[in-house]
Amino acid sequence: MSEQQHEQPGQRPPGGQPGNGAAPGPADTRRVVVVGAGMAGVQTAVALREQGFTGPVLLLGAEPHQPYDRPPLSKAYLLGAAEGSAFEVDFASLGVELRLGVEVTGLRPGDHEVDTEAGPVPYDVLVVATGAVPVTLPGSEGVPGVHLLRTLDDAERLRPVLAEQHDVVVVGAGWIGAEFATAAREAGCAVTVVEAAGRPLAGALPAEAAEPMAAWYEESGATLLTHARVDRVEPGEVVLADGRVLPAGAVVVGIGARPATGWLRGSGVALGPDGSVVADDHLRTSVPDVYAVGDCASFPSARYGARLLVHHWDNALQGPRTVAAAVVGAPSRPYDPVPYFWSEQFGRFVQYAGHHASADTAVWRGDPADPAWALVWLRDGAPVAVLAVGRPRDLAQGRRLIEAGTPLDPELVADPDVPLKSAVRA
């Protein structure tokens, strides 16, 4: 879920790539409407101004709250250690109009309008930055005590659960499940995590990387049940498919997220099988004057030879620079980042950079039973991904090596005492 906070909205990004609109002059009057007021939407508005766009910018947010950062919601905010995570952006001084509590319901490209509950909104350039929504557990909708964790309101509802030290069942041992279980244990809750697969993070990491993480749950005092499927959720309990009944003062569902793009169906904007907006390498959609960025958009990666859908903070920070450059007509390279995210769970700092495939060669750096270790994936000798647990230097150096496509010596990579930057193949 989380990404390391290198920079906040309002810091100057580099230039971008010509887009499908004309280059602006001093009196550019095109109206840019950004749908979505999360990191991707806010950063798009900021980047437009920083890259010289002078026309009107309207930012539409579905939530009533001032735009905020999401990573603290599963950590400090949830535990009551922080009272807010609003972005420190002065929208008025930027000349950005902010409309909150506005749900967008449809897009009509022929009219250059988006439909909202408050009526149609015209645009000259549209940026789709609606993010993702959590997947719900079938049959649990409306059951008292069942929670998701995606929004500020979700976190607000969960704070008393932790404060009152309820017995908690977490469905899903992914990133959100692990982070919430960590916070719940810190708060003194009894925690049981139910995972349908045979290991944590089964959808994100291969077995060799994820299996050592199973021990972290037990170390924290949480119970991890793998190969366990939920049959139904009832008030106060979770019933598993094998008949086991788990007491649950609260149930937190963390079984994934999907792009929030349902409002685009029938608009002509191409959507992929995963529901993402199919964007090109400059984040343009199949419809003229419409761009997509962040968790809702997939893009082609020449680096990895695949279309990527990246649900992480860093992608929502970096992509808007490309969109803004396209709108203003500035030159840039195609959008092809090295994906990056981080997670704090069970007293460990976990970082991942890149994108690996099953055919890539995995090289261990250190013993996964130790507090700090790393795993590097090589393809034709060059690194394509790095997973670092408590080894931030490996992550930083590995990320640069991935970006450069630098071949490495596998024997040197396997020596945890050799810095990755010194493992370059002669």
Query: Do both 181 and 226 map to the same domain?
Result: yes
Number of domains in the chain: 3
Query: Do both 39 and 122 map to the same domain?
Result: yes
In the predicted structure, residue 115 carries a pLDDT above the cut 70: yes
Question: pLDDT class for 78, splitting at 50, 70, 90?
Answer: confident
In the predicted structure, residue 169 carries a pLDDT above the cut 70: yes
Q: What is residue 203's predicted lDDT score, i.e. its pLDDT?
A: 85
> Which residues are paired to 378 by β-bridges?
361, 383
What the block records as the tokens of 385 is 């991904």
51 backbone dihedrals φ, ψ, rounded to 5°:
-100, 10
Query: Do both 269 and 231 map to the same domain?
Result: no
Confirm whether 127 is domain-assigned: yes
* pLDDT (tens digit per residue) in 324-339: 999 999 988 999 999 9
**Span 182-198, mean pLDDT?**
97
How many CA atoms lie within 13 Å of 380's alpha carbon, on the beta-carbon side?
4
* Percent over 90 (pLDDT), the chain: 86
The answer for residues whose C-beta is within 8 angstroms of residue 90's C-beta and 6 or more apart is: none
Query: Are 394 and 388 spatial neighbours (Cβ–Cβ below 8 Å)?
Result: yes
Q: In 6-77, where do the E strands start and end?
A: 32-35, 57-61
In the predicted structure, residue 15 carries a pLDDT above the cut 80: no
**Span 71-94, mean pLDDT?**
84
Q: Mean pLDDT, the chain, as a whole number?
A: 92
The answer for residues whose C-beta is within 8 angstroms of residue 236's C-beta and 6 or more apart is: 145, 247, 248, 249
Query: Do both 269 and 307 map to the same domain?
Result: yes
**SS3 at position 192:** strand
**Span 318-327, mean pLDDT?**
98
Confirm whether 344 is domain-assigned: no
Confirm whether 193 is domain-assigned: yes
List the CATH number of the domain containing 59: 3.50.50.60
Q: Of the candidates 313, 323, 320, 318, which has an alpha carbon nearest to the alpha carbon of residue 69?
A: 313
The boundaries of the domain holding residue 398 are 356-422
Query: Do both 128 and 141 map to the same domain?
Result: no
420 backbone dihedrals φ, ψ, rounded to 5°:
-55, -35
Residue with the bigger pLDDT between 85 and 189: it is: 189
Q: Is 31 left (phi over 0), alpha (psi -120 to 50) or beta?
A: beta
In the predicted structure, residue 11 carries a pLDDT above the cut 70: no
Query: Are 318 and 333 spatial neighbours (Cβ–Cβ below 8 Å)?
Result: no
Confirm whether 20 is domain-assigned: no
**Span 264-272, mean pLDDT?**
97
Confirm whether 349 is domain-assigned: no
Q: What is residue 25's predicted lDDT score, i.e. its pLDDT?
A: 46
Confirm whether 336 is domain-assigned: no
Q: What is residue 24's DSSP assignment?
A: P
**SS3 at position 246:** strand
Q: What is residue 378's predicted lDDT score, i.e. its pLDDT?
A: 98
Query: Do both 215 and 305 map to the same domain?
Result: no
Q: Give the residue from 309, 328, 347 where a domain finishes.
A: 328
By CB neighbour count within 10 A (0-12 exposed, 13-18 middle, 19+ buried), where does 412 fall?
middle
* pLDDT (tens digit per residue) in 385-398: 999 999 999 999 99
Query: Are 358 and 42 spatial neighbours (Cβ–Cβ below 8 Å)?
Result: no
* pLDDT (tens digit per residue) in 358-394: 899 999 999 999 999 999 999 999 999 999 999 999 9
Query: Do both 305 and 316 map to the same domain?
Result: yes
List the CATH number of the domain containing 404: 3.30.390.30
Query: Do both 313 and 206 map to the same domain?
Result: no
Query: Do both 39 and 145 map to the same domain?
Result: no
Query: Do both 307 and 288 map to the same domain?
Result: yes
Q: What is residue 77's predicted lDDT score, i.e. its pLDDT?
A: 82
**Span 49-69, mean pLDDT?**
96
Query: Do both 170 and 249 map to the same domain?
Result: yes
Distance in angstroms (rounded) separating the CA atoms of residues 233 and 108: 40
> Which residues are paired to 81 by β-bridges?
none
Q: In 19-165, where do the E strands start and end?
A: 32-35, 57-61, 96-100, 104-108, 113-116, 119-122, 125-128, 132-134, 146-147
**Span 190-198, mean pLDDT?**
97
What the block records as the tokens of 407 is 């071949």
CA dihedral 236, 256, 272, 69 (to 10 degrees): 110
Confirm whether 44 is domain-assigned: yes
Query: Do both 304 and 375 map to the same domain?
Result: no
Q: What is residue 72's predicted lDDT score, i.e. its pLDDT?
A: 82
**Span 54-78, mean pLDDT?**
91
Question: pLDDT class for 23, splitting at 50, 70, 90?
Answer: very low
Confirm whether 92 is domain-assigned: yes
Q: What is residue 426's predicted lDDT score, i.e. its pLDDT?
A: 83
Q: What is residue 351's predicted lDDT score, i.e. its pLDDT?
A: 97
Q: What is residue 82's predicted lDDT score, i.e. its pLDDT?
A: 65
